[in-house]
Amino acid sequence: MPDIVHTGPGAGPAPVTVRRHQEHFFAELDETGLGAVDAVAESGAPSSMWSEAWAKLRRQPMFWVSAVIIVLVCAVAAFPQLFTSQDPKFCELANSYGEPTAGHPFGYTRQGCDIYARTIYGARASVTVGVLATLAVLIIGTVIGAIAGFFGGWFDTILSRITDIFFAIPLVLAAIVVMQIFSGSRTSVTVAAVLASFGWTQIARITRGSVMSVKNNDYVTAAKSLGVSRTAALARHILPNAAAPIIVYTTVALGTFIVAEATLSFLGIGLPPSVVSWGGDIQQAQTALRSQPSVLFYPAGALALTVLGFIMMGDAVRDALDPKVRER
């Protein structure tokens, strides 16, 4: 502000205005305009939950480690002859508990069988049972849970009570009892069917809750208003958007069923001894746990590594698909 200076006393001459020198400062203009900041790229494809989940998965080391383990195990189960040229059922008593040699890196069992070949071929039976049981559980549990959660009413009441009854039955205990019926015809399909008969309850409850949380969304209401039937809305709009927790549980369940098959084979009521499996080899090797622990270590280590791979994959997929985790 200018200062006013009086040149005389009283009401003398007009005052004289003296202006002081003032410096003016101006903020520098931002090189990026507001238009560029607020601009939205309309040409790019909109991101979906699955694309965001895949982008997050690619940045997780745990995902790649588990993926390598799963791919390796599946390759061994599908093409075991590419990893060994030995016959897993060929045994020679002269090699009983023999040390590792060229072409036999894991040594020999009590019967003189090649441990490496049996570990490689044992993956086929365990993975086959796990995959078949998981597919059956996925179909049964998804259908029952989706119908109960979407239609509600008497459907929900009856199916939920049936699910609760089967949920109260322990999986392994029920499989032990039922497998006694098939003592003369125990195959991979039989074991998978028995495990699936009592293992679908958890995925049914997960599907029911996920469908109930999705069925009242706006896009479902809009689809119904356009004339889409309830069944079509369930198949096209609700299940795809409720699939995230189902996929996570399915990944973990595959490892669970592999362990269940190994448990039944270890108890002698799973796959017959004529079928090479990790559970059967662990059962045969328990007598030499103190003197020859390596006989037990290799099939048990392969089983543990396989289950670890599926559990790690399930954790990685859960972290990628869970919106609460994505917000953090």
- Indicate the average pLDDT of the chain: 83
Residue 57 lies in a domain: no
Q: What is the mean pLDDT of residues 90-110?
A: 84
> What is the distance between the alpha carbons of residues 222 and 252, in angstroms, rounded to a whole number?
35
Return the pLDDT at 217.
Answer: 85
Residue-wise pLDDT for 190-199, tens only, equals 999 999 999 9
The boundaries of the domain holding residue 148 are 64-86+121-327
Return the pLDDT at 74.
Answer: 93
Nearest to 246 by CA among 321, 307, 311, 308: 321
Nearest to 109 by CA among 79, 89, 127, 126: 89
Residue 166 lies in a domain: yes
Q: What is the mean pLDDT of residues 268-293?
A: 86
Q: 131 or 328: which carries more pLDDT confidence?
A: 131
Taken in order 177, 179, 181, 183, is the CA torsion positive or negative?
negative
Q: Decide if pLDDT at 234 tops 60.
A: yes
Number of domains in the chain: 1
Give the CATH number of the domain where residue 130 resides: 1.10.3720.10
> What is the distance between the alpha carbons of residues 231 and 234, in angstroms, rounded to a whole number?
5
All residues at 6 or more sequence positions from 236 whose CB lies less than 8 Å from its CB, including other chains = 223, 228
Query: Residue 136 — pLDDT band, cuts 50, 70, 90?
Result: very high
Residue 302 lies in a domain: yes
Residue 177 lies in a domain: yes
Position 239, amino acid: L
Position 37, amino acid: V
> What is the distance between the alpha carbons of residues 196 and 233, in angstroms, rounded to a whole number?
28
> What is the distance between the alpha carbons of residues 52 and 309, in angstroms, rounded to a whole number?
23
Residue 110 lies in a domain: no
CB 156 within 8 A of CB 311: no
Residue 10 lies in a domain: no
Letter string b/e over residues 173-187, b meaning 16 or more CB atoms within 10 A of that residue's CB: ebbbebbeeeeeebe
Q: What is the mean pLDDT of residues 104-122?
A: 89
Residue 133 lies in a domain: yes
Query: Residue 99 — pLDDT band, cuts 50, 70, 90?
Result: confident
Residue 224 lies in a domain: yes
All residues at 6 or more sequence positions from 42 whose CB lies less than 8 Å from its CB, including other chains = none
Phi first, then psi, for residue 91 (nearest 5°) are: -130, 145
Instruction: Give SS3 for 58.
Output: coil
Position 13, amino acid: P
Q: Decide if pLDDT at 129 tops 70.
A: yes
Residue-wise pLDDT for 139-177, tens only, equals 999 999 999 998 888 888 999 999 999 999 999 899 999
Q: Decide if pLDDT at 114 tops 70.
A: yes
